Structure 1
Amino acid sequence: MPSLLRRIKSKMFIAAHRRTLALLDGEYGSVFKGRSLDFDELRAYVPGDEVRDIDWKATARHGSPLVKRYVAVRRHAVLLLVDTGRNMAAQGASGESKKDIAVQAAGVLGYLACRHGDDVGLRHGTATASRFVPPRSGEEHLERLLRDIDSSTALDAPPSGIAHQIDYVLRYLKGRLLIVAVADEFMPDPTVEALLRRLRARHEVLWLTIRDADLAPAAGSRSGGQRDSDQTDSTDVVNGSRIAGKLAAQAAVQAAYAAAMRERGRRRSDVFRRLRIAEQQIGGTADVVGKVFALLEQHRSRALGGLYLAKGGRRAG
């Protein structure tokens, strides 16, 4: 069976020349800047210790200054949080299967982690069933993770349920992780938003949304000689509802659908912006490298902005 990772790497190197790959590596590495140390224990303050390392709450309880001791972290843990419900077996904006786009996106992020010597794990599932694969290093392990995503996503699978995957991480996974979520174009409800807020407080969180297909091909995109009456019906894989191809191809219907999707996308983006979670939307496998770079850059910029504000600065505008 052909290697999924080899296919992903070949697409990466076609889309990303050496300089672009170096930029990707740099942006990935920047996610962990300032997080190369983990808390170990408290000890008494001695002259020469950094004032910023004083634990003021512990000092108040103890009655004398205590500072935090840290130990170096040699390896980071990356968790791929992937929706493998039947929503992801549908067609994406590019006409490709969303599953193929998700595998490509997870593969690019996983490969960057492997290049940096980091461990990669996987949590994936549906609204009713889930699976966790603990983080490990190496390309062979990453290949198994990608095959797991690929084989678990099908039209006969249960519906998507990313909230179940987030809840599992919050309940059972300890230690700070870099979480890269790859999910359907869904709208977070208040329950999911609350889960995301808790997730963001504990971990570094990046989000990739796989865009839905259009309702019908745009006017002028049909093959030569094809009539409106020949249009293929569209089917919602979640509930099985159908819309006739002739109706979906009407300009007024397409315009209304596009407007509704833009509004939904705007509201979804507002949620991620409010939670300070970097999010990018991917339409097809050709977009993946560029969108991953934009995602890492966006995350770094937001982290720096938050640090600046925490130090008492003000952002222009």
Structure 2
Amino acid sequence: MSTAGTTTLLTRVKSRLFVSARRRARTILEGEYASVFHGRSLDYVDLRAYVPGDEVRDIDWKATARHSAPLVKRYVATRKQHLLLVADTGRGMAATTRSGERKKDVAIAAAGLVGYLAQRHGDLVGLVRGTAVATTAHRLRGTEAHLELLLRAIDAATVLDGEPSDLAAQLRWIVANVRRRTVLLVVADDLDLGPELDDLLRRLLVQHEILWCTVADADPTAIEGRRTAYDVGDLRTLPTVVRLDPRVREAYAAALTRRVEHTAAVLRRRGVNHARVGSTDDVVPAVFALLERQRRAR
């Protein structure tokens, strides 16, 4: 994607922080990011016996139960925090969200904002993206130019004729390959968190810190008139007469409510703070609220 004569993706992200109506947003968000993550760059090393004065939060309760004596996790301080953007780039993210925008544009806004906050604080930002077929990892660096390249990679990879999504594949890659303690910002399609994803979250949380952002689906039953709608997941057209049927609308609304509540319940049980966004306008307030909840949870 050429940016000659056009606005770069990162510039679009930053512009949402600098408009006069939200001039304080940058300061507030940077303060939230710093209070949550800055100065907590620690690598897990091993376990050792608990001694009086150790932080209770560092006790590994599972290991303690196995050994019948308190054990704490030992960390080594490092200079820079690592932030890994985890992006679903399957064809579902090329569909539209409720605002009429492409879901990938909302995903880029969310990933770009958190990535920008990290880069401003001297932290390193990388990307793991992929589909059900392939996972691609991009190295960690600390420059705006690198963050722009990461956002372009998400944009270029997410197309309507692309492969289907499988976020579990990207999370499995992280479990297998990322050893250093890392902050993961997962930007996900509007999906139901089944047992496999739940188990992957459990495994990742042993080592990493996770923030989760869901990009909400458009409601096909709310599209008025005779406009054609189709499911990008299976590429099937949704007949207008069916999707506008009041009974179908009611059933869809009930199914959506169940899915949203189930996703929230799984993430809450795992202690993962979560935001749900349906437009680029939602991103700044949603990220602020997400970071604030993360700070309060400590």
Assess same fold via TM > 0.5.
yes
Q: Secondary structure at the match of 2:206?
A: helix
Q: Deviations over 1:100-121 (max 9, x none)?
A: 1111111101111111110000
Within a 5 Å distance, the mapping from 1:148-227 to structure 2 comes to 148-217=153-222, 222=224
Q: 1:28, CA displacement in angstroms?
A: 1.0
The match for 2:283 is 288
Deviation of 1:255 (Å): 2.3
Q: How far did residue 26 of structure 1 move?
A: 1.6
Equivalence for 1:259: 254
C-alpha contact 1:216 1:234 (8 A) present in aligned 2: no
Residue number in structure 1 paired with 2:63: none
Q: Which has the larger radius of gyration?
A: 1
Q: 265, 269, 276: which one pairs with 1:274? A: 269
The 8 Å contact of residues 127 and 150 in structure 2, kept in 1 or not, is answered as yes
Name the structure 2 match of 1:46: none
Shift in Å, 1:178: 0.5
Q: 1:51 aligns with which of 53, 58, 71?
A: 53
Query: How far, CA to CA, are the matches of 1:279 and 1:142 in structure 2?
Result: 23
Q: Sequence identity, in percent? A: 45
Letter in 1 for 2:210: V
Q: How many residues align?
A: 281
Q: Within 1, Cα distance between the matches of 2:194 and 2:46?
A: 39
Contact persistence 2:44–2:180 (CA under 8 A): no
Matched residues in 2 for 1:38 and 1:240: separation? 44
Q: Which amino acid aligns with 1:297?
A: E
8 A contact 1:88–1:98 mirrored in 2: yes
2:101 to 91, 96, 103: 96
Deviation at 1:42, TM superposition (A): 10
Moved more, 73-82 or 9-18: 9-18
Distance 1:36 1:56 in 2: 18
> What is the aligned partner in structure 1 of residue 233 from structure 2?
238
Give the TM-score normalised by structure 1. Answer: 0.81
The answer to whether the Cα contact below 8 Å between 1:16 and 1:289 also exists between their aligned partners in 2 is no
The one-letter code matched in structure 2 to 1:190 is: P
Q: Which amino acid aligns with 1:296?
A: L
Pair 1:177–1:42, CA change in 2 (3 A) = closer
**Once the 2 structures are TM-superposed, how far is the Cα of residue 69 of structure 1 from its aligned partner?**
8.2
The 1-side partners of 2:28 and 2:266 are apart by: 28
What are the superposed Cα offsets for residues 268-314 of structure 1, whole Å, 9 maximum, x if unpaired?
1111111111111000101000111111112222x32xxxxxxxxxx
Contact 1:232–1:244 (8 Å) recurs in 2: no
Aligned to 1:84: 89
- SS at 1:31 equivalent: helix
The Cα shift of 1:252 comes to 3.1
The verdict on how the C-alpha distance between 1:37 and 1:277 changes in structure 2, with shifts beyond 3 A counting, is closer
Moved more, 158-167 or 241-250: 241-250
What residue ranges of structure 1 are gaps of 5+ in the alignment?
A: 44-48, 58-66, 223-227, 305-317
C-alpha displacement of 1:15: 7.7
Q: 1:202 to 1:167 in 2, by over 3 A?
A: same
**Residue among 13, 22, 40 paired with 1:17:** 22
